[in-house]
Amino acid sequence: MGRRIWIVLALLLSAMSSVNAGPHLFRDDEAPPLPGWVEFCNRNPEECSVDLRQPETLPMTADLAALLSSVNLSVNRALIPVTDHSHWGVIDLWKYPTDGLGDCEDYQLLKRRMLIDAGLPRRALRMTVVIDENGEGHAVLTVRTDRGDLILDNKSDEVLEWFRTNYRYIKRESAETTGWVYLSLDPAGTSLTSSYDK
C-alpha cells in the first residue's frame, strides 16, 4: 500500500472526528424524486431497485479509500462537462456518458456503476442532490461508510466528508425503498429544506 493512500486514509479518518458536524447525514421524510431520475429508472429499473439484503454502510478501509479516490479521479478526468441542454436539447436527462460528455449526475452514475462493478453494494451508494456554492442544484454520489458519509463529486478530485463540501444537502435516494428522502443534519430531523423540487 503506497504512502499516499495511507495519508488519504488518515486525513479521512481524522476529519470524521470533527466537532462541527456528525459523520452521517440523516434521512428525514420521503421526498419526490427528480423527473430525470424517474425516466432513468424507467429505462434501467435494475439501477434503482433496493436490495435490503445488502449493507447500507461499508467498513472504511485503506482499500476502500484507494478505490473511491481512483474512481472519482479517473471519471473526473475522463469526461468533458456539458449541460443536458447543450448536449441533448433537454433540461434534465440522466444517462451514462457513453460519448465522453456529461453533466453532474452523469459523472456520478458512471462512478456508481464502476464501484458496483468493483464489488461494492449499490445500497451504500446513493445519488444525492445538493445546492452548490453558486446556489444551483447539483448532483453528487454519497458513499455511506461506518466512519461517515463521503462525497464523490465532479467538482473535486478529492473524496470529501459531506460537511467539508460547503454544499446544502437536500435529498438522496432512499436505502429502504425505490424513491428519495429529504436529508437533515441531525436525528432530531430539522430538514435542510422541504421546498426544493427540481
151 closest CA partner among 132, 175, 127: 127
pLDDT of residue 196: 29
CB 99 within 8 A of CB 86: no
Q: Is 177 helix (H, G, I), strand (E, B) or coil?
A: coil
The residues with which 126 forms a beta bridge, in sequence order, are 142
- Give per-10-residue mean pLDDT for the chain (198 aa): 46 41 67 93 94 96 98 97 92 94 97 98 97 95 96 97 94 93 62 31
pLDDT of residue 10: 44
Neighbour-count burial of 71, counting CB atoms closer than 10 A to its CB (0-12 exposed, 13-18 middle, 19+ buried): buried
pLDDT of residue 23: 67
pLDDT of residue 187: 44
Cell reading at 135: 446556489
What is the number of H-type helices and E-type strands within the chain? 5, 9
pLDDT of residue 48: 93
pTM for this prediction: 0.82
Cell reading at 25: 447525514
Domain 3-17+25-184 has CATH 3.30.2350.10: no
Crossing angle (nearest 10°) for helices 62-78 and 3-15: 100
3-state SS string over 108-131? Answer: HHHHHHHHHHCCCCHHHEEEEEEE
pLDDT of residue 158: 97
